[in-house]
Structure 1
Amino acid sequence: MEAKPTEISGSKMFGGYNKRFKHFSPTLGCSMTFHVYFPPLPSPSHKFPVLYWLSGLSCTDENFIIKSGAQRVASSEGIALVAPDTSPSAGFYLNATQEKWKNWQMYDYVVKELPKVLSENFAQLDTSRASISGHSMGGHGALTIYLKNLDKYKSVSAFAPIVNPMNCPWGQKAFTNYLGGNKADWEEYDATCLISKFNDVSATILIDQGEDDKFLHDQLLPHKFEEACKNAKVPLLLRLQPGYDHSYYFIATFIDHHIQHHAQALNMCFKPLHP
């Protein structure tokens, strides 16, 4: 079946365009949607670097695009935003090995299929210059994907990520279902375990975590990741933000810092159209 994406909606924003696409994914065996925010083009031949955003457990590709306000700074920095769907829902951005969940191959979709779809269909995107970010389950996905593909992504950041899923109820439930009972397999998708294995990190890892997040102490466990980074001598900026919760209000407050963090790593020389 043809995997070429079809545009299903589009709206102008900050001089660029939010566009939503649908395509059939051979990797997942189902239809997928994704959003791209294209900044204003300074010239017909210009190519934008890409920032992938991975959303959380209960989200679709729409939440980030509608709620984060990220387009303002993405427009001025000249970075394209790509927000894939989380379907198959709650897939934890891993490749499931258990027969019942065999279509849950979100790791391969994000790392392999989606960049290929983008590079083959959108001449204005330069997928060889890419960074990755995400929230909650998507923060887990961003960190694990980055650490296992340091050659593919220039930088990583996360909001309230699930950094040690092996040791929290959300992760244990998902990993048991998708990967089975062998905990050695779980370590391949746990950022706190991976950091000692893939520690040749040059760009600082940026994490923002709300101190009033109700999931902080039993599900997210950022201090476990902080300790692992310290032991592996990996540069980490973990910012605990007083009063903030797990919501998109929190993300919208600090998203500009994250996009600027990625713009610096992507070594931008783009001059914005609008001051």
Structure 2
Amino acid sequence: MALKVVSEALSHGGRQLVLSHDSAATATPMTFSLFLPPQAEQGRVPLVTYLSGLTCTHANVTDKGEYRRSCAELGLAFLAPDTSPRGEGVADADGWDIGLGAGFYVDATETPWSANYRMWSYVTDELPTLVEAEFPMLDMGAQAITGHSMGGHGALTVALRHPDRFRSVSAFAPIVAPSQVPWGEKAFTAYLGADRDAWRAHDAVALIESGARLPALKVDVGGADSFLERELKPELLEQACIAAGQPLELAIRPGYDHSYHFVSTFLPDHLAWHAERLR
């Protein structure tokens, strides 16, 4: 599985890479970014995976996340995949909340999506296997995962179903219960079909209610987020965690919205939190 270096730049003493490859999972080319801190020149470093939100590519957090200084200081590698397959012949639909840029980190079972929309297999299997093989300085025994919005949903569900893989999990403005909000209902119906029981495997609140647990969980949401009440509903996650005895650090940040102005403000705090648990 040959990797192509799209770009490389020095930042805070580390290497910011953008790479592409042909994906077996999605049957399309895929692009991702990887920041290797300066400590990677001397030995193995922990890996933080970041899953992005609706309409995004790897480039949104890479360009606007402001994570490199913290990663360089803390000795963390930072992996950011794309949010959907792309390319000629890949299915799309009207609207920005389904289709290109909106893979929802599931393996679609419904046509036409099932041909390429296999983001669950990509982020849980193919991509980590690839970076482990190509970048031996990554310590895959010391992993954390985080994400924003749709990517927060992805981070929570990936970790809840792979609790032994991740020492810590965090999220920014996550869609915590996609089965109960319009974004998730629209995407899951299209990708997974009408059987709501099939949705539960990709719903963080449902997974916690069914017994899934995480070692550590941190969630930040902007108090002025326009999607807070309709799509995000962090209170559902809080209620599920309290009922299950699942530790949760939930912070509603007054005045902050859904944008990368919010994410970049608190991402260094999340990275420091992860670093403590990855030592």
Per the shorter chain, which TM-score range? over 0.9
**1:145 match: secondary structure:** helix
Match of 2:169 among 156, 159, 166: 156
Q: Which residue of 2 aligns with 1:213?
A: 225
Matches within 5 A, 1:22-33: 22-33=20-31
Matches within 5 A, 1:77-156: 77-88=74-85, 89-102=101-114, 103-156=116-169
Gaps spanning 5+ residues in structure 1: where?
A: 268-275
Q: What is the one-letter code of the residue matched to 2:60?
A: N
Q: What is the one-letter code of the residue matched to 1:263?
A: A
Deviation at 1:200, TM superposition (A): 3.5
Q: Which residue of 2 aligns with 1:177?
A: 190
Q: Check the 8 A contact 1:199/1:234 in 2, yes or no.
A: no
Q: What is the alpha-carbon root mean square deviation over aligned residues?
A: 1.1
Q: 1:124 and 1:181, CA in 2 relative to 1: closer, same or farther beyond 3 A?
A: same
**1:209 match: secondary structure:** strand
Gaps spanning 5+ residues in structure 2: where?
A: 86-100
Report the Cα distance in structure 1 between the residues aligned to 2:198 and 2:148, rounded to whole angstroms. 23
TM-score by length of 1: 0.93
Report the Cα distance in structure 2 between the residues aligned to 1:201 and 1:158, rounded to whole angstroms. 13
Report the Cα distance in structure 1 between the residues aligned to 2:112 and 2:122, rounded to whole angstroms. 18
Deviation at 1:265, TM superposition (A): 1.3
Match of 2:266 among 254, 258, 262: 254
Deviation at 1:114, TM superposition (A): 0.5
Give a deviation string over 1:156-186, Cα, whole Å, max 9, x none. Answer: 1000000011111100000000000000001
Q: What is the one-letter code of the residue matched to 1:69?
A: E
Q: What is the one-letter code of the residue matched to 1:75?
A: A
Deviation at 1:252, TM superposition (A): 0.9
Give a deviation string over 1:88-110, Cα, whole Å, max 9, x none. Answer: 22010011111311121111111
Deviation at 1:43, TM superposition (A): 4.8
TM-score by length of 2: 0.92
Q: Check the 8 A contact 1:148/1:198 in 2, yes or no.
A: no
Q: Is 1:34–2:57 an aligned residue pair?
A: no
Q: What is the one-letter code of the residue matched to 1:37?
A: F
Report the Cα distance in structure 2 between the residues aligned to 1:108 and 1:242, rounded to whole angstroms. 36
Task: State the percentage of identical aligned residues.
Answer: 43
Q: Which residue of 1 aligns with 2:55?
A: 58
Q: Check the 8 A contact 2:159/2:214 in 1, yes or no.
A: no
Q: Check the 8 A contact 2:163/2:215 in 1, yes or no.
A: no
Deviation at 1:123, TM superposition (A): 1.9
**1:28 match: secondary structure:** coil
Give a deviation string over 1:102-159, Cα, whole Å, max 9, x none. Answer: 1211111111100110011112112232110000000000000000000111111000
Aligned residues: 263
Report the Cα distance in structure 1 between the residues aligned to 2:133 and 2:264, rounded to whole angstroms. 31
Q: Check the 8 A contact 1:23/1:32 in 2, yes or no.
A: yes
Deviation at 1:65, TM superposition (A): 1.0
